[in-house]
């Protein structure tokens, strides 16, 4: 049985499972049961695994909260999810304390030293764990209690919505067959197997409030692997961890490749990476030059998949397949079905771009409290991902653009409508449009085009400062352009394509 490592701290997976069983008994004593929600406002830490597994033992949903959220954003998620408990790092409590609904039990996890160091956290000396019961104290007061014979639904991940508020992807309780299918798909995409589980050594490089690192880290641990938690991604530190722990598997996003490739050649050559067996990336488009450079450096062990929080993994592609089909995101998994649809719903011929619709054999989902939005994305039993792409004659999928008003910056989904809704509240703003522009490091960056009210005077800094007080920092535009008049279609809708096009001119991609 493996262990989880964070900085100088270690815990056996067996101990994690025992603490999860104790926590499950505690949650049950509070009335938490199947279909309920437990919120997690945690950086990558042991408690994330313990609380997630505990929720699963009860058939409840662990609901990760992006800890960058402002008080307003956290309040919406907590109220919408109906969470009965929130497990939170001590230093994250004060900023959102007022957002936590009355009746929700707060369990505070002492912020570990390695996280405090990496994030330059100085815990407010006024904070006392007596302000909220401690997670450790809560867990230790209960005896492990076997769960009922139920299949856990998995985490409810909130993904931002085009209406401005994030929506919880609430997967239906799976059948036993769907649980097996889900594990098979994930293990194939992640390079795991039942046989190699105990020999897996991996680093969780991304925050586990995102669906992919969440599924990757919790599965690696459940298979008995050794899981190293990187408090935050730092390129040379990742190389050091790979060499020190003889890491075999890593899950990454393209921006991490970009940063690794920026390291001096002498730094790259300093570390022994020969233990790596399987590297996989996803979550955002990757420039062909970046992927080729990584394959040249790390070899043909770099794989890729395409999917979403809603669908899970849809396609898969090895390095060799990608080299033979540059730009592809792979072919459909055996358990997946992909169709490329025209505007009228007809299936497009090979090589013709259209809306990507797909499904897998895992359990279906709805958006928590918004079945209508789920229905709107249905295409004769398939889910419309919001991406535009095409299939070649060999079944390889290529992405061209997005149908929905979304951008991906550094692997993070950002929905312009949420930012626009806040901008419209700002004094002096007459109208605005938010969209993605190319960025060498992040793939896309947030850009806001702003039309001011007559006589108003605002600066780039004014807009950013205002938004920073209402939105998480990663949603604040990197660039703000002031225009005398925003272009509009005949319908009156802002013509975002005309705003975006000049930024993408001369590039072979639009996402």
- SS3 category, 89: strand
Let me know: does 259 contact 35? Beta carbons within 8 Å.
Answer: no
Joined tokens for residue 150: 């139920």
DSSP-assigned letter for residue 386: E
Collapsed DSSP state (helix, strand, coil) of residue 242: helix
Q: How does DSSP classify residue 130?
A: G
pLDDT at 492: 56
* H/E element, 54: helix 46-57
The C-alpha atoms of residue 484 and residue 506 are separated, in whole angstroms, by 26
Position 283 scores a pLDDT of 84
Ranges in the chain, pLDDT < 50: 125-126, 162, 491
Q: Name beta bridge partners: 158.
A: 168
Read off φ and ψ for residue 190, nearest 5 degrees. Answer: -90, -10
Element (H, E) at 180: helix 176-190
Instruction: Give the 3-state secondary structure of residue 278.
Output: strand
Q: Which pLDDT value is given to residue 36?
A: 96
CA torsion through residues 113, 115, 120, 124, sign: negative
Kindly report the CA angle at 302 between 300 and 306, in degrees rounded to 5?
Answer: 135
- Separation CA 401–CA 405 (nearest Å): 10
Residue extent(s) of CATH 3.30.300.30 domains in the chain: 407-504
Q: Which fold has domain 407-504?
A: GMP Synthetase; Chain A, domain 3 (3.30.300)
CA distances to 47, 213, 249 from 427, in Å: 42, 39, 50
Q: How far is CA 402 from CA 7, 16, 384, 409, in A?
A: 39, 41, 11, 14
**pLDDT value at residue 405:** 76
Radius of gyration of the chain (CA): 23
| pLDDT for the residue 41 | 97
Helix (H) or strand (E) holding 321: helix 319-324
Which residue is it, tokens 């880290």? 217
Please tell us whether the domain made up of 7-156 is placed in CATH 3.40.50.12780. Answer: yes
**Residue recorded with tokens 């990476």:** 273
Closest CA to 280 of 242, 324, 312, 248: 248
In whole angstroms, what is the distance from residue 236 CA to residue 222 CA? Answer: 28
> Please, where in the chain does CATH 3.40.50.12780 lie?
7-156
How far is Cα 218 from Cα 183, in angstroms, rounded to an integer?
Answer: 12
């Amino acid at each position: 049985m493996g262990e989880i490592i964070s900085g100088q701290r270690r815990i056996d997976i067996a101990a994690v499972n025992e603490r999860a069983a104790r926590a499950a008994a505690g949650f049950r004593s509070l009335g938490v049961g199947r279909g309920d929600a437990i919120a997690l406002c945690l950086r990558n830490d042991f408690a994330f695994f313990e609380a997630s597994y505990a929720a699963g033992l009860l058939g409840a949903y662990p609901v990760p909260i992006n800890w960058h959220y402002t008080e307003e954003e956290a309040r919406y998620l907590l109220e919408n999810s109906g969470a009965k408990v929130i497990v939170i790092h001590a230093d994250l409590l004060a900023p959102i304390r007022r957002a936590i609904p009355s009746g929700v039990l707060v369990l505070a996890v002492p912020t570990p030293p390695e996280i405090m160091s990496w994030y330059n956290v100085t815990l407010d000396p006024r904070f006392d764990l007596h302000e909220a019961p401690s997670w450790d104290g809560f867990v230790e007061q209960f005896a492990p209690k076997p769960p009922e014979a139920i299949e856990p639904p998995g985490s409810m991940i909130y993904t931002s919505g085009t209406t401005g508020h994030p929506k919880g992807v609430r997967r239906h309780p799976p059948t036993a067959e769907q649980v097996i299918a889900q594990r098979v798909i994930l293990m194939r995409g992640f390079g795991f197997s039942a046989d190699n589980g105990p020999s897996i050594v991996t680093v969780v490089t991304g925050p586990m409030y995102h669906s992919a690192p969440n599924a990757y880290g919790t599965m690696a641990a459940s298979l008995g692997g050794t899981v190293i938690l990187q408090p935050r991604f730092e390129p040379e530190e990742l190389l050091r961890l790979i060499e020190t722990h003889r890491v075999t598997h890593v899950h990454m996003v393209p921006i991490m490749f970009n940063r690794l490739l920026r390291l001096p050649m002498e730094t790259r050559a300093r570390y022994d990476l020969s233990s790596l067996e399987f590297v996989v990336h996803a979550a955002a488009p990757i420039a062909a030059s970046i992927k080729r450079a990584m394959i040249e450096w790390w070899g043909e062990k770099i794989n890729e998949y395409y999917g979403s929080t809603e669908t899970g993994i849809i396609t898969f592609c090895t390095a060799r397949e990608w080299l033979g089909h540059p730009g592809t995101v792979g072919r459909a998994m055996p358990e997946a079905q992909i169709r490329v649809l025209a505007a009228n719903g007809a299936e497009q011929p090979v090589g013709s771009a259209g809306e990507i619709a797909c499904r897998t054999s895992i359990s279906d989902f709805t958006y928590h409290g918004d079945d209508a939005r789920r229905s709107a994305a249905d295409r004769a039993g398939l889910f419309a991902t919001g991406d535009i792409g095409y299939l070649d004659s060999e079944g390889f999928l290529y992405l061209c653009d997005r149908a929905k008003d979304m951008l991906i910056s550094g692997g993070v989904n950002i929905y312009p409508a949420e930012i626009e809704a806040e901008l419209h509240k700002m004094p002096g703003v007459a109208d605005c449009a938010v969209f993605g522009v190319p960025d060498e490091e992040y793939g896309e960056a947030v850009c806001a085009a702003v039309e001011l009210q007559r006589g108003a005077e605002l600066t780039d800094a004014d807009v950013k400062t205002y938004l920073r007080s209402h939105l998480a920092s990663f949603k604040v535009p990197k660039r703000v352009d002031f225009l005398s008049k925003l272009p509009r279609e005949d319908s009156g809708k802002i013509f975002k394509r005309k705003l975006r096009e000049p930024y993408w001119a001369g590039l072979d991609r639009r996402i």
